[in-house]
Protein backbone atom coordinates (compact mmCIF):
# COMPACT_ATOMS: atom_id res chain seq x y z
CA UNK A 1 0.00 0.00 0.00
CA UNK A 2 1.25 3.48 -0.87
CA UNK A 3 1.59 5.81 2.07
CA UNK A 4 0.14 9.34 1.90
CA UNK A 5 3.65 10.77 2.22
CA UNK A 6 4.98 8.78 -0.73
CA UNK A 7 1.94 9.74 -2.79
CA UNK A 8 2.41 13.44 -1.97
CA UNK A 9 6.13 13.30 -2.77
CA UNK A 10 5.47 11.76 -6.19
CA UNK A 11 2.90 14.47 -6.97
CA UNK A 12 5.37 17.19 -5.96
CA UNK A 13 8.06 15.61 -8.13
CA UNK A 14 5.69 15.64 -11.12
CA UNK A 15 4.88 19.31 -10.58
CA UNK A 16 8.58 20.18 -10.20
CA UNK A 17 9.37 18.35 -13.45
CA UNK A 18 6.62 20.24 -15.30
CA UNK A 19 7.81 23.59 -13.96
CA UNK A 20 11.43 22.88 -14.91
CA UNK A 21 10.45 22.15 -18.51
CA UNK A 22 11.12 24.95 -21.00
CA UNK A 23 8.10 26.85 -22.24
CA UNK A 24 7.92 26.66 -26.05
CA UNK A 25 5.88 29.26 -27.92
CA UNK A 26 5.22 28.85 -31.66
CA UNK A 27 5.33 32.34 -33.16
CA UNK A 28 5.13 31.42 -36.88
CA UNK A 29 4.52 28.36 -39.01
CA UNK A 30 5.02 27.60 -42.67
CA UNK A 31 4.35 24.63 -44.90
CA UNK A 32 6.01 24.85 -48.28
CA UNK A 33 6.90 22.11 -50.72
CA UNK A 34 5.83 19.46 -48.24
CA UNK A 35 8.18 20.77 -45.56
CA UNK A 36 6.90 22.10 -42.24
CA UNK A 37 8.87 24.69 -40.29
CA UNK A 38 8.04 26.69 -37.21
CA UNK A 39 9.61 29.70 -35.57
CA UNK A 40 9.59 29.09 -31.84
CA UNK A 41 10.47 31.17 -28.83
CA UNK A 42 12.25 29.36 -25.99
CA UNK A 43 13.56 31.29 -22.98
CA UNK A 44 13.49 34.57 -24.93
CA UNK A 45 15.41 33.24 -27.94
CA UNK A 46 13.89 32.48 -31.37
CA UNK A 47 14.66 29.36 -33.41
CA UNK A 48 13.48 27.88 -36.72
CA UNK A 49 12.75 24.18 -36.31
CA UNK A 50 11.19 21.31 -38.22
CA UNK A 51 8.33 19.19 -36.89
CA UNK A 52 10.64 16.64 -35.25
CA UNK A 53 12.70 19.28 -33.39
CA UNK A 54 9.50 21.04 -32.31
CA UNK A 55 8.22 17.84 -30.72
CA UNK A 56 11.57 17.34 -28.97
CA UNK A 57 11.43 20.88 -27.56
CA UNK A 58 7.87 20.30 -26.37
CA UNK A 59 9.00 17.12 -24.63
CA UNK A 60 11.45 19.14 -22.55
CA UNK A 61 14.76 19.05 -24.40
CA UNK A 62 16.63 22.35 -24.47
CA UNK A 63 17.84 24.14 -27.62
CA UNK A 64 21.42 23.55 -26.44
CA UNK A 65 20.80 19.80 -26.21
CA UNK A 66 19.48 19.87 -29.78
CA UNK A 67 22.39 22.09 -30.91
CA UNK A 68 19.99 24.67 -32.36
CA UNK A 69 21.25 28.03 -33.58
CA UNK A 70 19.18 31.16 -32.80
CA UNK A 71 17.17 32.56 -35.71
CA UNK A 72 18.70 35.52 -37.50
CA UNK A 73 16.21 38.35 -38.02
CA UNK A 74 16.49 40.10 -41.38
Count of Cβ atoms closer than 10 Å to residue 54 Cβ = 18
Domain-embedded: residue 13 = no
Residue-wise pLDDT tens digits, 31-72:
999 999 999 999 889 999 999 999 999 888 899 999 999 998
Are the C-beta atoms of 46 and 39 separated by less than 8 Å?
yes
Domain-embedded: residue 3 = no
Domain-embedded: residue 15 = no
> What HEC string does 47-62 produce?
EEECHHHHHHHHCCCC
Structural domain tally of the chain? 1
Domain-embedded: residue 74 = yes
Domain-embedded: residue 11 = no
Quick one: pLDDT band at residue 74, thresholds 50, 70, 90? low
Domain-embedded: residue 17 = no
pLDDT at 63: 93
Instruction: Give the structural domain span for 71.
Output: 22-74
Amino acid sequence: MVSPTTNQNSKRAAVRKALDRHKVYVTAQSFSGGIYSARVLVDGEAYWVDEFRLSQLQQGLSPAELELMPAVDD
